[in-house]
Structure 1
Amino acid sequence: MSPTVRTARHDDYEAIVDLTSDVWADRAMADYIPDVFRDWVDDDGPNRKTLVVDVDGHAVGIAQAVILTETEAWFQGMRVDSAHRGKGLGSLLTDRLIEWAADAGASVGRSMVFSWNEAGLGQSLAAGFEAVTSFRWAHPEPADETPEMPVGNDPTTAWRYWQGSDGRDVLSGLALDSGESWALSTLTRERLDRLGTEQAVLTVGERPQGMACRVRTTDADGDRLAEYAVGVWSNVDAARALFDGIAADAARLGVDGTRVLIPETPRHVAQAAYAGGDISECPDYVFEIPDLRELS
Protein backbone atom coordinates (compact mmCIF):
# COMPACT_ATOMS: atom_id res chain seq x y z
CA MET A 1 0.00 0.00 0.00
CA SER A 2 1.32 3.45 -0.93
CA PRO A 3 2.03 5.87 1.95
CA THR A 4 -0.62 8.52 2.54
CA VAL A 5 -0.43 11.74 4.52
CA ARG A 6 -3.30 12.56 6.86
CA THR A 7 -4.12 14.55 9.97
CA ALA A 8 -2.91 12.95 13.22
CA ARG A 9 -5.49 11.25 15.44
CA HIS A 10 -5.55 10.20 19.08
CA ASP A 11 -5.56 6.54 18.06
CA ASP A 12 -2.10 7.07 16.50
CA TYR A 13 -0.59 7.45 19.97
CA GLU A 14 0.84 3.94 20.36
CA ALA A 15 2.36 4.09 16.89
CA ILE A 16 3.96 7.45 17.72
CA VAL A 17 5.42 5.99 20.91
CA ASP A 18 6.88 3.11 18.90
CA LEU A 19 8.42 5.22 16.14
CA THR A 20 10.03 7.67 18.60
CA SER A 21 11.39 5.02 20.96
CA ASP A 22 14.80 4.79 19.26
CA VAL A 23 15.14 8.25 17.69
CA TRP A 24 18.11 9.18 19.90
CA ALA A 25 19.08 5.74 21.14
CA ASP A 26 22.75 6.72 21.30
CA ARG A 27 22.10 9.70 23.59
CA ALA A 28 20.86 9.82 27.17
CA MET A 29 17.64 11.66 26.36
CA ALA A 30 14.07 10.67 25.58
CA ASP A 31 11.99 12.07 22.77
CA TYR A 32 9.44 14.67 23.86
CA ILE A 33 6.88 13.82 21.15
CA PRO A 34 4.92 11.19 23.15
CA ASP A 35 4.50 13.71 25.99
CA VAL A 36 2.97 16.38 23.75
CA PHE A 37 1.27 14.28 21.06
CA ARG A 38 -2.22 14.28 22.57
CA ASP A 39 -2.04 18.06 23.07
CA TRP A 40 -0.92 18.47 19.47
CA VAL A 41 -3.96 16.55 18.24
CA ASP A 42 -6.30 18.57 20.45
CA ASP A 43 -4.75 21.89 19.40
CA ASP A 44 -4.93 21.37 15.63
CA GLY A 45 -6.68 24.30 13.99
CA PRO A 46 -6.13 27.33 11.76
CA ASN A 47 -2.67 28.03 13.23
CA ARG A 48 -1.40 24.50 13.89
CA LYS A 49 -1.33 21.30 11.83
CA THR A 50 -0.05 17.86 12.82
CA LEU A 51 0.32 15.27 10.07
CA VAL A 52 1.34 11.63 9.98
CA VAL A 53 2.43 9.31 7.18
CA ASP A 54 0.18 6.27 7.13
CA VAL A 55 1.36 2.91 5.74
CA ASP A 56 -1.15 0.06 5.88
CA GLY A 57 -3.19 1.87 8.53
CA HIS A 58 -0.17 2.48 10.76
CA ALA A 59 1.48 5.87 11.43
CA VAL A 60 5.17 5.64 10.53
CA GLY A 61 6.03 9.34 10.48
CA ILE A 62 4.96 12.60 12.09
CA ALA A 63 5.60 16.34 11.77
CA GLN A 64 3.90 19.57 12.79
CA ALA A 65 3.72 23.15 11.50
CA VAL A 66 2.74 26.16 13.61
CA ILE A 67 1.93 29.68 12.44
CA LEU A 68 3.88 31.96 14.78
CA THR A 69 3.17 35.37 13.24
CA GLU A 70 1.39 36.72 10.18
CA THR A 71 4.39 35.78 8.03
CA GLU A 72 6.36 33.13 9.96
CA ALA A 73 5.76 29.39 10.25
CA TRP A 74 7.66 26.90 12.41
CA PHE A 75 8.15 23.23 11.50
CA GLN A 76 8.89 20.75 14.25
CA GLY A 77 8.67 17.18 15.47
CA MET A 78 9.79 15.56 12.21
CA ARG A 79 10.15 11.83 12.92
CA VAL A 80 10.13 8.75 10.68
CA ASP A 81 10.14 5.16 11.92
CA SER A 82 13.59 3.60 11.55
CA ALA A 83 12.22 0.80 9.34
CA HIS A 84 10.87 3.35 6.85
CA ARG A 85 13.74 5.82 6.60
CA GLY A 86 15.35 6.55 3.26
CA LYS A 87 12.03 6.31 1.41
CA GLY A 88 11.30 10.02 1.13
CA LEU A 89 8.58 10.00 3.78
CA GLY A 90 10.10 12.93 5.66
CA SER A 91 10.08 15.04 2.52
CA LEU A 92 6.51 13.94 1.81
CA LEU A 93 5.42 15.23 5.22
CA THR A 94 7.38 18.46 4.86
CA ASP A 95 5.96 19.19 1.41
CA ARG A 96 2.41 18.86 2.70
CA LEU A 97 3.10 21.08 5.69
CA ILE A 98 4.75 23.69 3.48
CA GLU A 99 1.61 23.77 1.36
CA TRP A 100 -0.54 24.12 4.47
CA ALA A 101 1.60 26.92 5.94
CA ALA A 102 1.67 28.85 2.65
CA ASP A 103 -2.11 28.55 2.36
CA ALA A 104 -2.36 29.86 5.93
CA GLY A 105 -0.51 33.01 4.85
CA ALA A 106 3.05 32.33 6.03
CA SER A 107 5.81 33.42 3.67
CA VAL A 108 8.85 32.11 5.57
CA GLY A 109 9.28 28.78 7.35
CA ARG A 110 11.90 27.73 9.87
CA SER A 111 12.89 24.73 11.95
CA MET A 112 15.50 23.81 14.56
CA VAL A 113 17.85 20.82 14.55
CA PHE A 114 20.31 19.77 17.25
CA SER A 115 23.84 20.13 15.86
CA TRP A 116 24.60 16.48 16.67
CA ASN A 117 21.53 15.21 14.79
CA GLU A 118 23.17 14.29 11.48
CA ALA A 119 20.04 12.70 10.05
CA GLY A 120 17.98 15.78 10.90
CA LEU A 121 20.53 18.11 9.34
CA GLY A 122 20.50 16.14 6.11
CA GLN A 123 16.71 15.88 6.07
CA SER A 124 16.40 19.65 6.47
CA LEU A 125 18.59 20.29 3.43
CA ALA A 126 16.77 17.62 1.42
CA ALA A 127 13.44 19.31 2.20
CA GLY A 128 14.63 22.66 0.85
CA PHE A 129 15.69 24.39 4.06
CA GLU A 130 18.92 26.38 4.36
CA ALA A 131 20.94 26.89 7.55
CA VAL A 132 20.65 30.53 8.64
CA THR A 133 21.94 30.73 12.21
CA SER A 134 22.89 28.82 15.34
CA PHE A 135 22.53 29.50 19.03
CA ARG A 136 23.31 28.06 22.41
CA TRP A 137 21.72 28.17 25.87
CA ALA A 138 23.23 29.86 28.91
CA HIS A 139 21.95 28.90 32.37
CA PRO A 140 22.85 31.46 35.05
CA GLU A 141 21.71 30.28 38.47
CA PRO A 142 18.96 32.35 40.14
CA ALA A 143 20.63 34.42 42.86
CA ASP A 144 20.19 37.74 44.62
CA GLU A 145 23.01 39.37 42.68
CA THR A 146 23.84 43.09 42.45
CA PRO A 147 25.28 43.84 38.99
CA GLU A 148 28.35 46.08 38.87
CA MET A 149 26.75 48.04 36.04
CA PRO A 150 23.22 49.50 36.17
CA VAL A 151 20.56 47.11 34.84
CA GLY A 152 17.15 48.54 33.96
CA ASN A 153 13.86 47.51 32.36
CA ASP A 154 13.65 49.73 29.29
CA PRO A 155 12.32 48.33 25.99
CA THR A 156 13.28 51.50 24.09
CA THR A 157 16.91 51.26 25.16
CA ALA A 158 16.89 47.50 24.60
CA TRP A 159 15.55 47.94 21.07
CA ARG A 160 18.21 50.53 20.25
CA TYR A 161 20.94 48.17 21.40
CA TRP A 162 19.41 45.15 19.66
CA GLN A 163 19.20 47.00 16.35
CA GLY A 164 22.95 47.69 16.32
CA SER A 165 24.10 44.47 17.96
CA ASP A 166 26.39 42.01 16.23
CA GLY A 167 24.43 39.34 18.07
CA ARG A 168 21.28 40.37 16.22
CA ASP A 169 23.14 40.02 12.93
CA VAL A 170 24.39 36.55 13.86
CA LEU A 171 20.88 35.47 14.88
CA SER A 172 19.29 36.95 11.74
CA GLY A 173 17.04 39.03 14.00
CA LEU A 174 15.52 35.94 15.63
CA ALA A 175 14.77 35.23 19.28
CA LEU A 176 12.78 32.68 21.26
CA ASP A 177 9.12 32.95 20.32
CA SER A 178 6.62 34.18 22.90
CA GLY A 179 3.93 31.58 22.23
CA GLU A 180 5.63 28.39 21.06
CA SER A 181 8.27 26.62 23.14
CA TRP A 182 11.54 25.89 21.31
CA ALA A 183 10.54 28.03 18.32
CA LEU A 184 12.27 31.18 17.10
CA SER A 185 10.63 34.17 15.43
CA THR A 186 11.60 37.72 14.53
CA LEU A 187 12.06 39.98 17.56
CA THR A 188 10.07 43.12 16.73
CA ARG A 189 9.78 46.42 18.58
CA GLU A 190 6.12 45.68 19.28
CA ARG A 191 6.95 42.33 20.90
CA LEU A 192 9.76 43.84 22.94
CA ASP A 193 7.42 46.55 24.26
CA ARG A 194 4.88 43.88 25.19
CA LEU A 195 7.52 41.82 27.01
CA GLY A 196 8.57 44.92 28.92
CA THR A 197 5.02 45.14 30.29
CA GLU A 198 4.11 41.48 30.66
CA GLN A 199 7.51 39.94 31.50
CA ALA A 200 10.82 41.82 31.80
CA VAL A 201 13.29 43.51 29.49
CA LEU A 202 16.80 44.00 30.90
CA THR A 203 19.25 46.63 29.68
CA VAL A 204 22.87 47.07 30.74
CA GLY A 205 24.46 50.48 31.25
CA GLU A 206 23.23 54.02 30.83
CA ARG A 207 24.60 53.92 27.29
CA PRO A 208 23.34 50.45 26.37
CA GLN A 209 25.95 47.70 26.31
CA GLY A 210 23.63 44.71 26.45
CA MET A 211 20.04 43.50 26.62
CA ALA A 212 17.90 40.48 27.37
CA CYS A 213 14.16 39.85 27.55
CA ARG A 214 12.28 37.30 29.61
CA VAL A 215 9.64 35.53 27.53
CA ARG A 216 7.97 33.16 30.03
CA THR A 217 8.37 30.72 32.89
CA THR A 218 7.90 27.05 32.16
CA ASP A 219 8.24 23.59 33.69
CA ALA A 220 11.03 21.31 32.49
CA ASP A 221 11.90 17.95 34.05
CA GLY A 222 10.28 18.94 37.32
CA ASP A 223 11.99 22.33 37.56
CA ARG A 224 10.48 25.76 37.06
CA LEU A 225 12.57 27.76 34.56
CA ALA A 226 12.62 31.39 33.54
CA GLU A 227 13.21 31.57 29.78
CA TYR A 228 14.85 34.57 28.13
CA ALA A 229 14.22 35.06 24.42
CA VAL A 230 17.71 36.37 23.79
CA GLY A 231 20.75 37.81 25.52
CA VAL A 232 23.37 39.93 23.74
CA TRP A 233 26.14 42.20 25.04
CA SER A 234 29.20 44.17 23.93
CA ASN A 235 32.03 42.96 26.20
CA VAL A 236 32.78 40.67 29.12
CA ASP A 237 31.94 43.30 31.77
CA ALA A 238 28.54 43.86 30.16
CA ALA A 239 28.05 40.09 29.96
CA ARG A 240 28.74 39.72 33.68
CA ALA A 241 26.29 42.53 34.51
CA LEU A 242 23.63 41.10 32.20
CA PHE A 243 23.86 37.59 33.64
CA ASP A 244 23.85 38.98 37.18
CA GLY A 245 20.71 40.91 36.26
CA ILE A 246 19.12 37.76 34.84
CA ALA A 247 20.08 35.81 37.98
CA ALA A 248 18.46 38.46 40.18
CA ASP A 249 15.34 38.62 37.99
CA ALA A 250 14.98 34.83 38.16
CA ALA A 251 15.51 34.84 41.94
CA ARG A 252 12.65 37.32 42.35
CA LEU A 253 10.42 34.90 40.45
CA GLY A 254 11.40 32.03 42.74
CA VAL A 255 12.27 29.71 39.83
CA ASP A 256 14.71 26.82 39.93
CA GLY A 257 16.78 27.76 36.89
CA THR A 258 17.09 29.79 33.71
CA ARG A 259 17.50 29.31 30.00
CA VAL A 260 18.92 32.21 27.95
CA LEU A 261 19.29 32.04 24.16
CA ILE A 262 22.67 33.44 23.08
CA PRO A 263 24.37 33.71 19.65
CA GLU A 264 26.73 30.91 18.67
CA THR A 265 29.95 32.88 18.19
CA PRO A 266 33.33 32.31 19.86
CA ARG A 267 33.02 35.66 21.66
CA HIS A 268 29.51 35.18 22.98
CA VAL A 269 30.03 31.57 24.04
CA ALA A 270 33.37 32.23 25.73
CA GLN A 271 32.16 35.35 27.53
CA ALA A 272 28.92 33.64 28.61
CA ALA A 273 30.91 30.73 30.04
CA TYR A 274 33.16 33.16 31.90
CA ALA A 275 30.46 35.53 33.13
CA GLY A 276 27.35 33.41 33.39
CA GLY A 277 28.48 29.93 34.30
CA ASP A 278 26.83 26.87 32.78
CA ILE A 279 26.19 26.78 29.02
CA SER A 280 24.79 24.02 26.84
CA GLU A 281 27.24 21.51 25.46
CA CYS A 282 26.28 21.84 21.79
CA PRO A 283 24.68 24.54 19.64
CA ASP A 284 21.33 24.24 17.89
CA TYR A 285 20.92 25.11 14.21
CA VAL A 286 18.05 27.07 12.70
CA PHE A 287 17.04 26.30 9.12
CA GLU A 288 14.87 28.45 6.89
CA ILE A 289 12.84 28.41 3.70
CA PRO A 290 12.75 32.11 2.77
CA ASP A 291 9.72 31.84 0.48
CA LEU A 292 7.29 29.01 1.14
CA ARG A 293 5.24 29.93 -1.91
CA GLU A 294 8.04 28.84 -4.21
CA LEU A 295 7.85 25.30 -2.84
CA SER A 296 4.10 25.01 -2.19
Structure 2
Amino acid sequence: MTKELANVEVRLARIEDKDPVLSFCKNTWENQPDYIHLVWDKWFADPRGCIFVAVVDGLPIAMERVVLMSDCEAWWEGLRVDSRYRGQGLVGILRPHLERYLQEAGILISRNCVSSENTIMNGIMTRRGRQKVGCYASYKADPIHSSVTKLVQLRSDDFDLAWTLVSSSNFFGQERCLYISRGAKWQELTTQQLSDRLEAGLVWGLKQSNLLVAIAIQSSLEGSNQTLWIGFVNGTATSLPTLLYELRLLAEYQDYLAVGGIFPLCKNIVEYLNRAGYQRYYNEDYWVYEWQIDYQQ
Protein backbone atom coordinates (compact mmCIF):
# COMPACT_ATOMS: atom_id res chain seq x y z
CA MET A 1 0.00 0.00 0.00
CA THR A 2 1.30 3.44 -0.93
CA LYS A 3 1.61 6.30 1.52
CA GLU A 4 -1.30 7.95 -0.29
CA LEU A 5 -3.61 5.01 0.45
CA ALA A 6 -2.65 5.00 4.11
CA ASN A 7 -5.18 7.82 4.48
CA VAL A 8 -7.97 6.20 2.48
CA GLU A 9 -11.50 6.71 3.83
CA VAL A 10 -14.42 4.35 3.21
CA ARG A 11 -17.94 5.78 3.36
CA LEU A 12 -21.34 5.60 1.71
CA ALA A 13 -21.56 7.19 -1.72
CA ARG A 14 -22.88 10.74 -2.02
CA ILE A 15 -24.58 12.56 -4.88
CA GLU A 16 -21.38 14.39 -5.77
CA ASP A 17 -19.49 11.09 -6.17
CA LYS A 18 -21.29 10.21 -9.42
CA ASP A 19 -19.04 12.02 -11.91
CA PRO A 20 -15.67 10.91 -10.47
CA VAL A 21 -16.89 7.31 -10.12
CA LEU A 22 -18.20 7.17 -13.68
CA SER A 23 -14.95 8.70 -14.87
CA PHE A 24 -12.78 5.85 -13.58
CA CYS A 25 -15.40 3.22 -14.51
CA LYS A 26 -14.86 4.09 -18.18
CA ASN A 27 -11.57 2.19 -18.01
CA THR A 28 -12.87 -0.97 -16.33
CA TRP A 29 -12.41 -3.24 -19.35
CA GLU A 30 -10.36 -2.89 -22.50
CA ASN A 31 -12.69 -4.64 -24.93
CA GLN A 32 -16.17 -3.62 -23.79
CA PRO A 33 -17.89 -0.63 -22.18
CA ASP A 34 -18.90 -0.62 -18.54
CA TYR A 35 -22.53 -0.45 -17.45
CA ILE A 36 -22.27 1.53 -14.21
CA HIS A 37 -23.32 4.76 -15.92
CA LEU A 38 -26.58 3.05 -16.92
CA VAL A 39 -27.52 1.97 -13.40
CA TRP A 40 -25.88 4.48 -11.04
CA ASP A 41 -28.96 6.64 -10.52
CA LYS A 42 -31.17 3.60 -9.86
CA TRP A 43 -28.62 2.08 -7.51
CA PHE A 44 -28.18 5.32 -5.62
CA ALA A 45 -31.96 5.72 -5.14
CA ASP A 46 -32.63 2.07 -4.20
CA PRO A 47 -33.19 1.79 -0.41
CA ARG A 48 -32.37 -1.93 -0.48
CA GLY A 49 -28.76 -1.32 -1.46
CA CYS A 50 -25.75 0.69 -0.38
CA ILE A 51 -22.83 1.89 -2.50
CA PHE A 52 -19.56 2.14 -0.59
CA VAL A 53 -16.69 4.20 -1.94
CA ALA A 54 -13.02 4.41 -1.01
CA VAL A 55 -11.91 8.04 -1.01
CA VAL A 56 -8.51 9.72 -1.14
CA ASP A 57 -8.22 13.49 -0.83
CA GLY A 58 -11.98 13.83 -1.25
CA LEU A 59 -12.19 11.85 -4.51
CA PRO A 60 -13.56 8.28 -4.87
CA ILE A 61 -11.03 5.80 -6.24
CA ALA A 62 -12.99 2.55 -5.74
CA MET A 63 -16.56 1.40 -5.20
CA GLU A 64 -18.63 -1.68 -4.37
CA ARG A 65 -22.33 -2.21 -3.76
CA VAL A 66 -24.33 -4.63 -1.60
CA VAL A 67 -28.07 -5.24 -1.89
CA LEU A 68 -30.33 -6.79 0.74
CA MET A 69 -32.26 -9.43 -1.21
CA SER A 70 -34.18 -10.87 1.75
CA ASP A 71 -33.97 -11.03 5.54
CA CYS A 72 -30.93 -13.30 5.29
CA GLU A 73 -29.44 -12.87 1.78
CA ALA A 74 -27.24 -10.18 0.24
CA TRP A 75 -25.90 -9.58 -3.26
CA TRP A 76 -22.48 -8.03 -3.93
CA GLU A 77 -21.90 -6.20 -7.21
CA GLY A 78 -20.24 -3.28 -8.97
CA LEU A 79 -16.71 -3.67 -7.62
CA ARG A 80 -14.62 -1.09 -9.46
CA VAL A 81 -11.15 0.31 -8.80
CA ASP A 82 -9.55 3.29 -10.50
CA SER A 83 -6.90 1.86 -12.83
CA ARG A 84 -4.24 4.08 -11.20
CA TYR A 85 -4.78 2.33 -7.85
CA ARG A 86 -5.27 -1.31 -8.80
CA GLY A 87 -3.21 -3.95 -7.06
CA GLN A 88 -2.83 -1.85 -3.91
CA GLY A 89 -5.29 -3.63 -1.62
CA LEU A 90 -8.40 -1.49 -2.07
CA VAL A 91 -10.65 -4.55 -2.39
CA GLY A 92 -9.52 -5.67 1.04
CA ILE A 93 -10.01 -2.17 2.43
CA LEU A 94 -13.61 -2.00 1.19
CA ARG A 95 -14.68 -5.50 2.24
CA PRO A 96 -14.78 -5.11 6.06
CA HIS A 97 -17.06 -2.08 5.77
CA LEU A 98 -19.55 -4.00 3.63
CA GLU A 99 -19.39 -6.98 5.97
CA ARG A 100 -20.04 -4.78 8.99
CA TYR A 101 -23.09 -3.31 7.29
CA LEU A 102 -24.41 -6.80 6.49
CA GLN A 103 -23.76 -8.00 10.03
CA GLU A 104 -25.83 -5.14 11.41
CA ALA A 105 -28.60 -6.10 8.96
CA GLY A 106 -28.54 -9.73 10.15
CA ILE A 107 -27.46 -11.12 6.78
CA LEU A 108 -26.22 -14.73 6.78
CA ILE A 109 -25.66 -15.57 3.10
CA SER A 110 -23.84 -13.52 0.47
CA ARG A 111 -23.59 -14.13 -3.27
CA ASN A 112 -21.99 -12.53 -6.29
CA CYS A 113 -21.46 -13.24 -9.97
CA VAL A 114 -18.13 -13.24 -11.81
CA SER A 115 -17.47 -13.58 -15.52
CA SER A 116 -15.64 -16.78 -16.41
CA GLU A 117 -13.13 -14.60 -18.28
CA ASN A 118 -12.24 -12.60 -15.16
CA THR A 119 -9.37 -14.80 -14.02
CA ILE A 120 -8.18 -12.37 -11.35
CA MET A 121 -11.53 -12.14 -9.55
CA ASN A 122 -12.20 -15.87 -9.86
CA GLY A 123 -8.82 -16.46 -8.27
CA ILE A 124 -9.79 -14.18 -5.40
CA MET A 125 -13.05 -16.10 -4.94
CA THR A 126 -11.15 -19.39 -4.78
CA ARG A 127 -8.58 -18.11 -2.29
CA ARG A 128 -11.35 -16.82 -0.04
CA GLY A 129 -13.00 -20.23 -0.05
CA ARG A 130 -16.19 -19.07 -1.72
CA GLN A 131 -18.32 -21.86 -3.15
CA LYS A 132 -19.31 -21.85 -6.81
CA VAL A 133 -23.02 -22.75 -6.80
CA GLY A 134 -23.93 -22.24 -10.45
CA CYS A 135 -22.71 -21.63 -13.97
CA TYR A 136 -24.91 -19.62 -16.35
CA ALA A 137 -25.03 -18.13 -19.83
CA SER A 138 -27.12 -15.45 -21.56
CA TYR A 139 -29.60 -16.52 -24.22
CA LYS A 140 -32.03 -14.49 -26.29
CA ALA A 141 -34.62 -15.07 -29.04
CA ASP A 142 -36.76 -12.92 -31.30
CA PRO A 143 -40.51 -12.74 -30.73
CA ILE A 144 -42.82 -14.81 -32.92
CA HIS A 145 -46.12 -13.42 -34.13
CA SER A 146 -49.16 -15.48 -33.18
CA SER A 147 -52.71 -14.71 -32.19
CA VAL A 148 -52.69 -17.29 -29.38
CA THR A 149 -50.30 -18.76 -26.83
CA LYS A 150 -50.52 -21.91 -24.75
CA LEU A 151 -49.15 -20.09 -21.71
CA VAL A 152 -51.44 -19.08 -18.87
CA GLN A 153 -50.78 -16.33 -16.35
CA LEU A 154 -50.75 -17.99 -12.95
CA ARG A 155 -52.40 -16.37 -9.94
CA SER A 156 -52.25 -16.73 -6.18
CA ASP A 157 -54.73 -19.63 -6.19
CA ASP A 158 -52.24 -21.56 -8.35
CA PHE A 159 -49.64 -21.43 -5.58
CA ASP A 160 -49.74 -25.11 -4.59
CA LEU A 161 -49.34 -26.31 -8.18
CA ALA A 162 -46.59 -23.77 -8.83
CA TRP A 163 -44.66 -24.54 -5.66
CA THR A 164 -44.76 -28.28 -6.32
CA LEU A 165 -43.12 -27.66 -9.68
CA VAL A 166 -40.69 -25.03 -8.40
CA SER A 167 -39.51 -27.20 -5.53
CA SER A 168 -38.92 -30.29 -7.65
CA SER A 169 -35.33 -31.51 -7.78
CA ASN A 170 -34.84 -30.49 -11.42
CA PHE A 171 -32.57 -27.48 -10.84
CA PHE A 172 -30.32 -28.14 -13.85
CA GLY A 173 -27.14 -28.79 -11.91
CA GLN A 174 -27.70 -26.14 -9.26
CA GLU A 175 -27.47 -27.15 -5.63
CA ARG A 176 -30.61 -25.22 -4.73
CA CYS A 177 -33.46 -23.38 -6.35
CA LEU A 178 -32.09 -19.94 -7.28
CA TYR A 179 -34.12 -17.24 -8.98
CA ILE A 180 -32.53 -14.41 -10.95
CA SER A 181 -34.17 -11.31 -9.56
CA ARG A 182 -34.28 -7.75 -10.89
CA GLY A 183 -30.98 -6.58 -12.32
CA ALA A 184 -29.44 -10.09 -12.56
CA LYS A 185 -29.16 -10.76 -8.84
CA TRP A 186 -29.47 -14.37 -7.69
CA GLN A 187 -31.49 -15.30 -4.62
CA GLU A 188 -33.20 -18.39 -3.24
CA LEU A 189 -36.73 -18.86 -4.52
CA THR A 190 -38.74 -19.26 -1.32
CA THR A 191 -42.48 -19.67 -0.79
CA GLN A 192 -42.75 -15.96 -0.02
CA GLN A 193 -40.84 -14.97 -3.15
CA LEU A 194 -43.10 -17.16 -5.28
CA SER A 195 -46.23 -15.84 -3.60
CA ASP A 196 -45.16 -12.24 -4.21
CA ARG A 197 -44.51 -12.89 -7.90
CA LEU A 198 -47.79 -14.74 -8.37
CA GLU A 199 -49.61 -11.79 -6.86
CA ALA A 200 -47.73 -9.42 -9.19
CA GLY A 201 -48.72 -11.45 -12.27
CA LEU A 202 -45.13 -12.38 -13.13
CA VAL A 203 -45.54 -16.17 -13.29
CA TRP A 204 -46.47 -18.03 -16.47
CA GLY A 205 -47.29 -21.70 -16.81
CA LEU A 206 -47.98 -24.47 -19.26
CA LYS A 207 -50.78 -26.84 -18.33
CA GLN A 208 -51.81 -30.25 -19.62
CA SER A 209 -55.11 -31.74 -18.43
CA ASN A 210 -55.20 -29.18 -15.61
CA LEU A 211 -51.74 -30.24 -14.46
CA LEU A 212 -48.96 -27.63 -14.36
CA VAL A 213 -46.05 -29.11 -16.32
CA ALA A 214 -43.77 -26.08 -16.83
CA ILE A 215 -43.31 -22.68 -15.24
CA ALA A 216 -41.49 -19.42 -16.02
CA ILE A 217 -41.03 -16.48 -13.67
CA GLN A 218 -40.61 -13.06 -15.22
CA SER A 219 -37.86 -10.74 -14.01
CA SER A 220 -36.37 -7.49 -15.33
CA LEU A 221 -33.13 -5.68 -16.07
CA GLU A 222 -32.03 -2.43 -14.48
CA GLY A 223 -31.30 -0.90 -17.87
CA SER A 224 -33.49 -1.50 -20.91
CA ASN A 225 -36.99 -2.94 -20.50
CA GLN A 226 -37.31 -3.93 -24.16
CA THR A 227 -36.69 -7.63 -23.43
CA LEU A 228 -39.10 -10.05 -21.77
CA TRP A 229 -36.63 -11.12 -19.12
CA ILE A 230 -37.00 -14.59 -17.57
CA GLY A 231 -35.54 -15.23 -14.12
CA PHE A 232 -36.47 -18.88 -13.63
CA VAL A 233 -37.80 -21.87 -15.58
CA ASN A 234 -38.60 -25.42 -14.57
CA GLY A 235 -40.69 -28.26 -15.90
CA THR A 236 -40.70 -31.69 -17.44
CA ALA A 237 -38.35 -32.71 -20.25
CA THR A 238 -41.18 -32.72 -22.78
CA SER A 239 -42.77 -29.45 -21.66
CA LEU A 240 -39.79 -27.11 -21.22
CA PRO A 241 -38.96 -26.73 -24.93
CA THR A 242 -42.62 -25.84 -25.53
CA LEU A 243 -42.60 -23.34 -22.66
CA LEU A 244 -39.47 -21.64 -24.00
CA TYR A 245 -40.97 -21.44 -27.48
CA GLU A 246 -44.27 -20.07 -26.17
CA LEU A 247 -42.38 -17.32 -24.33
CA ARG A 248 -41.38 -16.01 -27.76
CA LEU A 249 -45.08 -15.71 -28.63
CA LEU A 250 -45.76 -14.01 -25.31
CA ALA A 251 -42.97 -11.50 -26.01
CA GLU A 252 -44.63 -10.56 -29.30
CA TYR A 253 -48.05 -10.28 -27.66
CA GLN A 254 -46.66 -7.97 -24.96
CA ASP A 255 -44.74 -5.81 -27.47
CA TYR A 256 -41.23 -6.78 -26.37
CA LEU A 257 -38.39 -6.72 -28.89
CA ALA A 258 -36.92 -9.99 -27.59
CA VAL A 259 -37.17 -12.65 -24.90
CA GLY A 260 -34.10 -13.66 -22.94
CA GLY A 261 -32.51 -14.60 -19.69
CA ILE A 262 -29.46 -16.00 -17.96
CA PHE A 263 -29.97 -19.76 -17.86
CA PRO A 264 -28.13 -22.57 -16.05
CA LEU A 265 -25.45 -24.12 -18.23
CA CYS A 266 -26.27 -27.80 -18.34
CA LYS A 267 -26.78 -30.15 -21.25
CA ASN A 268 -30.56 -30.39 -20.98
CA ILE A 269 -31.44 -26.70 -20.71
CA VAL A 270 -29.00 -25.75 -23.49
CA GLU A 271 -30.62 -28.36 -25.73
CA TYR A 272 -34.10 -27.04 -24.90
CA LEU A 273 -33.05 -23.45 -25.62
CA ASN A 274 -31.57 -24.43 -28.97
CA ARG A 275 -34.70 -26.34 -29.92
CA ALA A 276 -36.84 -23.31 -29.06
CA GLY A 277 -34.72 -21.02 -31.25
CA TYR A 278 -32.66 -19.18 -28.62
CA GLN A 279 -29.06 -18.13 -29.19
CA ARG A 280 -26.24 -17.10 -26.88
CA TYR A 281 -25.57 -13.39 -27.05
CA TYR A 282 -22.44 -13.20 -24.88
CA ASN A 283 -19.56 -15.67 -25.17
CA GLU A 284 -18.63 -15.50 -21.51
CA ASP A 285 -20.17 -17.68 -18.81
CA TYR A 286 -21.29 -16.36 -15.44
CA TRP A 287 -20.15 -18.09 -12.27
CA VAL A 288 -22.24 -17.54 -9.15
CA TYR A 289 -20.49 -17.78 -5.79
CA GLU A 290 -21.99 -18.11 -2.33
CA TRP A 291 -20.49 -17.74 1.12
CA GLN A 292 -21.30 -17.07 4.74
CA ILE A 293 -19.42 -14.29 6.45
CA ASP A 294 -17.59 -15.30 9.61
CA TYR A 295 -18.52 -12.46 11.92
CA GLN A 296 -16.32 -13.89 14.67
CA GLN A 297 -13.13 -12.88 12.86
Global fold match (TM > 0.5): yes
Aligned residues: 285
In structure 2, relative to structure 1, the CA distance for the partners of 1:144 and 1:155 (3 Å cut) is farther
- 2:33 counterpart residue number: 30
2:107 is paired with a residue of what secondary structure?
coil
Shift of 1:155: 4.0
Asked if 1:130 corresponds to 2:131, the answer is yes
Superposition pairs of residues 98-177 of structure 1, within 5 angstroms: 98-126=99-127, 129-145=130-146, 151-152=151-152, 153=154, 154-167=158-171, 170=174, 172-177=176-181
1:19 is paired with a residue of what secondary structure?
helix
* Aligned counterparts of 1:199 and 1:142: Cα–Cα separation in 2: 20
Q: TM-score, normalised by structure 2?
A: 0.84
Asked if 1:200 corresponds to 2:205, the answer is no
Unaligned runs of 5+ in 1: none
Shift of 1:175: 0.7
Percent of residue pairs identical: 21
* Aligned counterparts of 2:65 and 2:52: Cα–Cα separation in 1: 6
Unaligned runs of 5+ in 2: none
Kindly indicate whether the alpha-carbon contact (under 8 Å) linking 2:204 and 2:215 is maintained by their aligned counterparts in 1: yes
- 1:246 counterpart residue number: 247
* Aligned counterparts of 2:258 and 2:105: Cα–Cα separation in 1: 36
Asked if 1:20 corresponds to 2:25, the answer is yes
* Aligned counterparts of 2:94 and 2:221: Cα–Cα separation in 1: 32
Kindly indicate whether the alpha-carbon contact (under 8 Å) linking 1:94 and 1:127 is maintained by their aligned counterparts in 2: no
* 166-175 vs 75-84, which moves further: 166-175
1:294 is paired with a residue of what secondary structure?
coil
2:33 is paired with a residue of what secondary structure?
coil
Kindly indicate whether the alpha-carbon contact (under 8 Å) linking 1:95 and 1:127 is maintained by their aligned counterparts in 2: no
Q: TM-score, normalised by structure 1?
A: 0.85
Kindly indicate whether the alpha-carbon contact (under 8 Å) linking 2:71 and 2:106 is maintained by their aligned counterparts in 1: yes
- 1:130 alignment partner AA: Q
Superposition pairs of residues 40-119 of structure 1, within 5 angstroms: 40-43=43-46, 45=47, 47-119=48-120
* Aligned counterparts of 2:151 and 2:72: Cα–Cα separation in 1: 33
- 2:183 counterpart residue number: 181
* Aligned counterparts of 2:84 and 2:220: Cα–Cα separation in 1: 39
1:167 is paired with a residue of what secondary structure?
coil
- 2:39 alignment partner AA: V
Per-residue CA deviations over 1:145-165 (Å, capped at 9, x if unaligned) read 5899x5443443232122114
Which is helix-richer, 1 or 2? 1
- 1:228 counterpart residue number: 230
In structure 2, relative to structure 1, the CA distance for the partners of 1:5 and 1:127 (3 Å cut) is farther
* Aligned counterparts of 1:137 and 1:208: Cα–Cα separation in 2: 26
